[in-house]
Chain A
Amino acid sequence: MAEKRLEPRLAKMIIHSLGSFGTPPEFGIEHFSVGLESYLEVIEKEYLTDMLKYNLSSFKLITGNYGGGKTHFLYLIRELAWRHNYVTSYVSLSPTECPFDRLELVYKKIAANITPPSGGDFLKQTDRGIGALLRERFKNLEGTEDMFLKRKNLESSSFTNALKAAYLSLRTDDEDEFLAIVQWLKGEDVQRDVRLRHRISERIDRSTAFRMLRSLVQFINATGYSGLIFLFDEAERGMSISSTRDKRRALDNLRQLVDECGNSRLPGAMFFYAVPDENLLLEGSGGVYEALKQRLRSSFTKINPMGVKINLEKIGVGAEEFLERLGMKLSWIFECAYDFEFDSGLLNGTINNMIHTALELQSLDISYRRIFVVGIIEAFQHLRDKNKMIGRDEAQRILRSTIKMLSEKEREEVERQEF
């Protein structure tokens, strides 16, 4: 392959991450993405470099079943957003830690996972959270503090006061004070005297969470970043064990979020909300279900990247072609990781056998893509060790054990989270 070789450390990280459970690595995913170009191109051209820069906002629902590439897609968007100077917040929703019906907990996670753009070196992207963002931003404000201190256009006075206090404490090197204020901005309780000193009158709770979210977006938009990209993942678990009332509350929050985007009340913000099956999310009857269904419904059946719904199962590439392109990309990463080259004849035959077996064995719960990804890494290891093509029987053995392993992991995860 004429392409420039990948750094072995990154290539190994990708192979280990994919080979263990098929979960995408945090970085480097663009090297093995297949078929998502039409969506990504539109998101970049129409939203990141166009609409959001005019202080508009948007919402997309991402659908794709377990292992169908939702996390992968969100990570790709994240890297794209960083390239265009957007702050991102990737939030993995869970029923216990941050269910969507409790927006104050979602806010906490958002604040904790806020990540400013790294300037290109994604492997060094370790500083997260609103504290890191404030340090990064206020560092560049020297000489313009008056302009910042006079800023009054954030929706919440408490949020404005907290930001001003954080700024002043950084300017006076008062680290303890800064950390105390950041604690409040992260949605945690702080001592009363801290709030008294800085006229912070509100708590970040379920009644104020939306206001704080809007204030956060307004702040980021006003301080030189292009905007804020929200990436909500594994949303199915956030909804799965909710009582009817909690689910309705969660859906109402989602509906309000869509409306706020439609009214551009979240300048420069874009939300991606990933679910395995929209029917699971929206099954039910009554006002809030109907209101949300109407907003999230995409009546156009062809691939439409501008639509509110992005279906990762429909990317315009057939399953066989998809796996073939994916297999070739992964083999190249594998070669970069271990600094060797596959025999092309043996490689093509192995990939071909793995594709057909994966499609034969695909189970209902787990996407054939995830089964294939985990299995093919094992097949590459065999090919590298024995320099012998993987036949259909061997492919079946590898993929059967892969399915078993993934099913057990899925069950463990569900039990750990839900009981």
Chain B
Amino acid sequence: MKKKEKRLKGKNSEFVAHPVFGEGVVVATRWDEEETQVKFRSGLCLWLPSKWLKQIPASDINLDRVSCKRLLEAFRLGVVPHQDIEYFTFGRAYEINEIKQSLRGLKNGKGDVFLIEGSYGSGKTHLLEYARHLSLKQGYVTTYCELSTQETPLFRPKRVYRELIHNLRYIRKGREYCFRDLLRMVSRFKIDDHCFFTPLLKKIKEIDHGSLESEVFWQWVEGESTKNYAVTPDAPFRIRGAQKIPALYDFSTAGDFYSYLLTGLSFLINRAGLGGLVIILDEVETITHIWNYAAYSRGLSFLEGLIHAAFDTKTFKRIDTHLVHNQVRPTPYLYKESHIFLILAMTPVQGIRSIENVINLIKKGFFLRRFSKAEYEVIFDNLIKVYRCAYPWFSLDRGQRENIFSAALHRGEGELREFIKFSVEAFDWLRLKR
């Protein structure tokens, strides 16, 4: 009996996920759709029972006009705004699934580390933003820092800490909270053996939260410098009784101390029933842009400490001279059990052995693949939807649509950023031409 196959055209293709083979695109169906032929991201093209496959719906764009304009302007600049990330993430179901699994692990107290590698324009920051959105949505305490050689280099751990504290957020019962709310909440816990949080939480319970002094105090806890007006005995905003809390050191060797603080914080977060702390670091490759070797290796120590903190490595729970330690108050890199899920993103670094050794510690991760033509079709359709939402009078006939799609695909050479940029610019040109 001749098999009846139904070949699917590209633009009608569906995305599916398989528990073993991962994500793929439906190519054809047969036997009244009992079996489906799927081309997987690994390159395999298999006939499988349809019931084994889970359909991945492409997100339906339902945004307001301002959000659409923000999205389009960001696309023109070659970036994606984090506010609208959920509505514009495609074809990363496999990666997102892995991140979701690690987030589930964090709920059970298990930390993890993920490395996202990809060339420029492959969508790393986009995926990080999505991960941040997902983590917040699932109720985890989440923070991120975009590393840079100027503002937040890894060899200045206090700046990274300040940025992480500044960006720390979590959502409970539909309301967003920040670092101060978190500390007030965990101040009800008693911990006796953390050199920073033990006296800090005690102090938080005592201070008058409405006073000017408490504002200065919070600035200090958040890593802002207050030494000009709160340190000397006669300083007008000096916090009485805070001398037992160690200073937030601004040394490049203080990576141990800040790793210790972050693990302590994750411990408290877990005790508060919020799972753990999700730390997202973008542009990790900037560590290799540091020309000073001492600064580079100190930054690398901080990074390695954070990775071990997320893995909860036992040897890092005691002072060990393997990594750099500050000389004022050397602490282990880890406090008790840490509950950190660390997500790193970087462009691949080759030929720099010391960073490669650190990166090799990470077992989970992926190199962002390029999208298939069918996936680009879905992205293109959604782009048109967004564009029409922003500019309702905009229209494209079939010929124009196909021409722009082919030209964008050709021009982008498989780079998503270029593809989107070209498409939006072409729509603009059509809309504005007289």
Interface residues of A (CB under 8 A from B): 38, 42, 50-51, 54, 56-59, 103, 155, 157-158, 192, 195-197, 199-202, 206-207, 210-211, 245, 248-249, 252-253, 256, 258-259, 261-264, 287-288, 290-291, 294-300, 302-308
Contact = CB atoms under 8 A, between A and B. Distances in A.
Interface in B205-230: 212, 215-216, 219, 224-229
B425 interface: yes
Contacts of A249: 149-150
Contacts of A305: 428, 432
A263 B79 contact: yes
Interface in B398-434: 411, 415, 417-418, 421-422, 425-426, 428-429, 432
Interface string B284-312: 01100101000000000000000000000
A202 B225 contact: yes
A287 B347 contact: yes
Given A252-B150, A294-B417, A201 B219 contact: yes
A249 B153 CA distance: 12
A306 B76 contact: yes
A259 B432 contact: no
B219 A308 contact: no
Contacts of B121: 294
A195 B432 contact: no
Interface residues of B, number: 52
B143 to A, nearest CB: 15
B409 to A, nearest CB: 12
A200 B76 CA distance: 38
Contacts of A245: 291
Interface centre among A196, A199, A253 (most CB of B within 10 A): A199
Interface stretch (B66-74, B101-109, B194-202, B371-379): B66-74
6 contacts: A54-B66, A58-B77, A259-B146, A264-B74, A296-B78, A307-B428
Contacts of B70: 54, 56, 264
Contact of A54 (B69, B74, B146, B225): B69
A130 B422 CA distance: 39
Contact of A59 (B77, B146, B151): B77
Interface in B62-118: 66, 69-70, 73-74, 76-83
Interface of B: 66, 69-70, 73-74, 76-83, 120-121, 146, 148-151, 156, 159, 166, 212, 215-216, 219, 224-229, 235-237, 285-286, 289, 291, 347, 411, 415, 417-418, 421-422, 425-426, 428-429, 432
Given A207-B159, A291-B120, A305-B432, A202 B77 contact: no
A207 B425 contact: no
Nearest to B77: A262
Nearest to A158: B224
Contact of A157 (B120, B150, B219): B219
A401 B415 CA distance: 50
B120 A261 contact: no
A42 B433 CA distance: 11
B74 A202 contact: no
Contact of A51 (B73, B415, B425, B429): B73
A286 to B, nearest CB: 9
A158 B151 CA distance: 17
A247 to B, nearest CB: 12
Task: Name the 7 nearest CB pairs between A and B, nearest first.
Answer: A262-B79, A306-B428, A295-B78, A262-B74, A300-B425, A196-B229, A262-B77
B289 A288 contact: yes
A300 B429 contact: yes
Task: Determine chain B's interface SS by DSSP, over half rule.
Answer: helix
Contacts of B66: 54, 56
B76 A263 contact: no
B180 to A, nearest CB: 12
Contacts of B73: 51, 56-58, 261-262
Contacts of A297: 78, 418, 421
Contacts of A158: 224
Nearest to A291: B120
B69 A259 contact: no
A49 to B, nearest CB: 13
A295 B77 contact: yes
Given A103-B150, A199-B237, A263-B74, A157 B81 contact: no
Nearest to B119: A290
Given A196-B236, A297-B421, A201 B228 contact: yes
A304 B216 contact: no
Contacts of A306: 76, 425, 428, 432
Contacts of A197: 236
Given A196-B229, A199-B216, A262 B80 contact: yes
Contact of B422 (A157, A200, A201, A299): A299
Contacts of A288: 289
Nearest to B70: A56
A302 B429 contact: yes
A264 B70 CA distance: 8
Contacts of B236: 196-197
B388 to A, nearest CB: 16
B224 A157 contact: yes
A303 to B, nearest CB: 8
A298 B425 contact: yes
Contacts of B428: 304-307
Contacts of A200: 228
A294 B150 contact: no
Contacts of B156: 207
B224 A202 contact: yes
Given A201-B225, A201-B229, A258 B237 contact: no
A287 B429 contact: no
A325 B365 CA distance: 60
A175 B422 CA distance: 54
A264 B85 CA distance: 13
A393 to B, nearest CB: 42
Contacts of B289: 248, 252, 287-288
A99 to B, nearest CB: 13
B429 to A, nearest CB: 5
A58 B82 CA distance: 15
B224 A201 contact: yes
A199 B150 CA distance: 25
A323 B79 CA distance: 39
B81 A252 contact: no
Contacts of A38: 432
Contacts of A262: 73-74, 77-81
Contacts of B226: 199, 201
Given A299-B425, A304-B429, A294 B78 contact: yes
A290 B73 CA distance: 20
Nearest to A296: B78
B235 A196 contact: yes
Nearest to B227: A201
A211 B418 CA distance: 30
Contacts of A56: 66, 69-70, 73
Nearest to B152: A207
B136 to A, nearest CB: 16
Question: Which one of B70, B80, B146 has the greatest number of beta carbons of chain A within 10 Å?
Answer: B70
